[in-house]
């Protein structure tokens, strides 16, 4: 069936029609003919449901609730202003934040940085349940830290199933527990009393050494919040720059007599 269009009709709701040509460009090109038919059927049903609702709403809502012109104009104006401001801000925004700025923000907002969880710096390795390999890591994990790290760097490429050796980053103790089967009812007490942990659960053996830790409600270390502080500083700069952009545009328009206000 054809109507006001050379393309076949797929569906009708009242006096509104959906044609094959309307959906040709949205059918995925990498699907089988069978999947293509299923896609079209699903699309047509969604189109009918949507347009039935639209028709019923138009028939039953009062005229004043159907006039969206003011809201659409306000929304369009907001989008235009946002896009223009964003473009100007991106051209002028200084994204370099010095270590001194980060440190100053941290020092003056310490109360904002209470930890919501326990965090730690730790290294771990997971090995097969093999007595010979286990004995080797028993010896490694009692070494002083400087020798421990070098030895782990070497052997982690040879004998381990998984490892984490970055001692520069703070990680959530909870996340450690998702990998290492540490069972404790008091995480704070566990961290205070355990620097080295070894767990045998077939088919693996787990070795963990806690280099440092911070307890929930302590003040977060700066390293743990550095990225957050950077984002806060950049966000503040954006707000300040957006205000300056608006004021500069207003002042320039005032200077060039681009507007008039007709009231006292």
78-132 pLDDT tens trace: 999 999 999 999 999 999 999 999 999 999 999 999 999 999 999 999 998 888 8
Bridge-partner residues for 196, per DSSP? Answer: 209
- Containing 124, the helix (H) or strand (E) segment is strand 119-128
The pLDDT assigned to 5 comes to: 59
What is the distance between the alpha carbons of residues 160 and 132, in angstroms, rounded to a whole number?
A: 12
| Residue pair 220/113 in contact by the 8 Å Cβ criterion | yes
The pLDDT, as a whole number, for residue 170 is: 94
The residue with tokens 């490429």 is 157
For the domain spanning 115-214, the CATH number is: 3.10.50
Angle at 201 between CA 199 and CA 205, to 5 degrees: 55
Query: What is the domain partition of the chain in residue ranges?
Result: 9-64, 68-113+220-264, 115-214
Q: What are phi and psi of 29, to 5 degrees?
A: -85, -10
Place of tokens 């502080």: 229
CA 18 vs CA 6, 14, 36, 39, 53: distances in Å: 12, 11, 17, 15, 15
Handedness of CA 131, 134, 135, 138 (dihedral sign): negative
Distance CA 74, CA 39 (A): 36
Q: Do β-strands 16-19 and 9-13 pair in parallel, antiparallel, or remain unpaired?
A: antiparallel
Quote the pLDDT of residue 126: 94
What stretches in the chain show pLDDT beneath 70?
1-5, 264
> What counts of helices (H) and strands (E) characterise the chain?
10, 7
pTM assigned to the model: 0.69
Assess contact for 17 and 4: CB atoms under 8 A.
Answer: yes
Q: Which residues contact 226 (CB under 8 A, 6 or more apart)?
A: 102
């Amino acid at each position: 069936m054809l109507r006001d269009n050379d393309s076949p009709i797929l569906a009708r709701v009242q006096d509104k029609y959906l044609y094959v040509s309307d959906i040709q460009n949205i059918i995925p090109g990498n699907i089988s003919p069978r999947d293509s038919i299923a896609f079209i059927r699903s699309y047509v049903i969604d189109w009918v449901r949507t347009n039935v609702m639209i028709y019923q709403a138009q028939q039953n809502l009062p005229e004043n609730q159907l006039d969206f012109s003011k809201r659409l104009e306000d929304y369009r104006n907001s989008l235009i202003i946002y896009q223009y401001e964003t473009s100007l801000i991106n051209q002028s925004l200084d994204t370099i934040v010095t270590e001194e700025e980060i440190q100053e923000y941290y020092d003056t907002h310490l109360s904002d940085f209470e930890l919501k969880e326990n965090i730690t710096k730790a290294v771990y390795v997971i090995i097969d349940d093999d007595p010979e390999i286990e004995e080797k890591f028993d010896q490694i994990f009692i070494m002083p830290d400087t020798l421990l790290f070098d030895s782990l760097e070497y052997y982690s490429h040879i004998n381990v199933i998984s490892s984490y050796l970055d001692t520069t980053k703070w990680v959530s103790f909870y996340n450690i527990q998702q990998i290492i089967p540490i069972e404790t009812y008091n995480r704070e007490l566990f961290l205070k009393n355990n620097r080295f942990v070894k767990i045998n659960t077939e088919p693996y053996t787990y070795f963990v050494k806690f280099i440092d830790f911070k307890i929930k409600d302590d003040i977060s270390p700066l390293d743990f919040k550095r990225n957050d502080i950077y984002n806060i500083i950049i966000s503040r700069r954006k707000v300040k720059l957006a205000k300056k952009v608006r004021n500069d545009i207003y002042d320039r328009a005032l200077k060039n007599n681009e507007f008039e206000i007709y009231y006292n």
